[in-house]
Amino acid sequence: MESWDLIIIGAGPAGLTAGLYGVRSGLKTLVIEEKIPGGAAADAPLIENYPGFPSVSGQELVAKMVEHCEKFKVPIKQFEKVVGMKLTGEKKLIQTEQGEYEASAVIIASGCNRRELNVPGESEFRGKGVSYCAVCDGAFFKGKSVLVVGGGNSAAISAIYLSNIASEVKLAHRRERLRAEEAYVRELLERKVEILWNTEVKEIRGDTRVRSVLLFNNKTGETKEVKIDGIFVQVGEVPNSQPAREAGVAVDAGGFIIVDSRQRTNIPGVYAAGDVTATPVKQVGVAVGQGIIAAMEAFGHIKKPYYYPG
């Protein structure tokens, strides 16, 4: 079994940052990633609020972070899925589909997955007009008509991005106001994205692929069928916290890991950072800050330097 000082689960902005700080602090540090590095940030068509990069694609930003980690020789194992953990002992055990590892401290930075609408047609037409990632699938909708569902930054950004590709972009939100930053809302209006307020998607219809959606107006009670070629679902996230939860890490009602201001979970030596935590602000800059604090706490826990409060 491989033995490490610090194992970080997930290689999004939080995990990469924690890896960088772990290695630079002299900890024998390993980052384990289920897919390729980048996390949800890599799916963002456009990031305008990570300080230092006025406008950058998510892909480009995470590529820079990965490059930064490579410069400092942060070991990242990709395509390795964590299937179990034992965290309560002094040595933490991490089991993946490929092997077993032990470490003195663990940082869970496994992020979120996109939440689904859970309506008829959604799973049937997944990849046939139903998408959860504008930057991944947008190019398939050149000159077509698309609907984005959601009201937060991710939904607004996806609609802005798609307005460069599709001939028509609508944004459906179940409330009367968007949650997205006003700068994005202004851009939506400038780009003539039609916003459908108080609107819920009830069904996705089609034949070999999506042809229309059934929309319900929760204010007027009216239901109508609207023709579209594609639907981009951006209605929030579900945390990738299952193995941690099963190992006894405390989570909130939504399954997000509860941390204190030092990124500590309820289990000594186990930390969490980024979108998997209960912090409501899911932003790259926040993930970075939390990754740093988690790594420095893990360092304190392992090395017990004179200034560590314990």
User: Which stretches of the chain bind a second copy, using CB under 8 A?
Assistant: 13, 16-17, 20-21, 23-26, 48-55, 61, 64-65, 67-68, 71-72, 175, 177, 179, 181-185, 259-261, 279-281, 283, 285-293, 296, 305-307, 309
Which residues form the catalytic set? Answer: 133, 136-137
278 C-beta neighbours (distance < 10 Å), count? 16
Q: How far is the CB of 67 from a second copy (least distance, A)?
A: 7
Whose Cβ is closer to a second copy: residue 141's or residue 184's? 184
Q: Which residues contact 182 (CB under 8 A, 6 or more apart)?
A: none
Whose Cβ is closer to a second copy: residue 60's or residue 225's? 60
Q: Where are the alpha helices (DSSP H) in the chain?
A: 13-24, 58-71, 134-137, 153-162, 182-190, 242-246, 284-303
Q: Which residues contact 52 (CB under 8 A, 6 or more apart)?
A: none
Query: Residue 84's Cα: distance from chain center in Å?
Result: 21
Whose Cβ is closer to a second copy: residue 70's or residue 225's? 70
Q: How far is it, in rounded angstroms, from Cα 310 to Cα 301?
A: 7
Q: Which residues contact 90 (CB under 8 A, 6 or more apart)?
A: 104, 269
Is the distance from CB of 42 to CB of 58 less than 8 angstroms? Answer: yes
Q: How far is it, in rounded angstroms, from Cα 52 to Cα 54?
A: 6
DSSP type of residue 301: H
Q: How far is the CB of 259 from a second copy (least distance, A)?
A: 7
Q: How far is it, in rounded angstroms, from Cα 254 to Cα 10?
A: 19
201 C-beta neighbours (distance < 10 Å), count? 22
Whose Cβ is closer to a second copy: residue 52's or residue 221's? 52
Whose Cβ is closer to a second copy: residue 208's or residue 261's? 261
Q: How far is the CB of 100 from a second copy (least distance, A)?
A: 27
Q: What per-residue string of b and e applies to 43-59 under the rule 16 or more CB within 10 Å gives b?
A: bbbbbeebeeeeebbbb
Whose Cβ is closer to a second copy: residue 16's or residue 134's? 16
Q: Which residues contact 39 (CB under 8 A, 6 or more apart)?
A: 10, 11, 12, 13, 14, 15, 62, 111, 274, 275
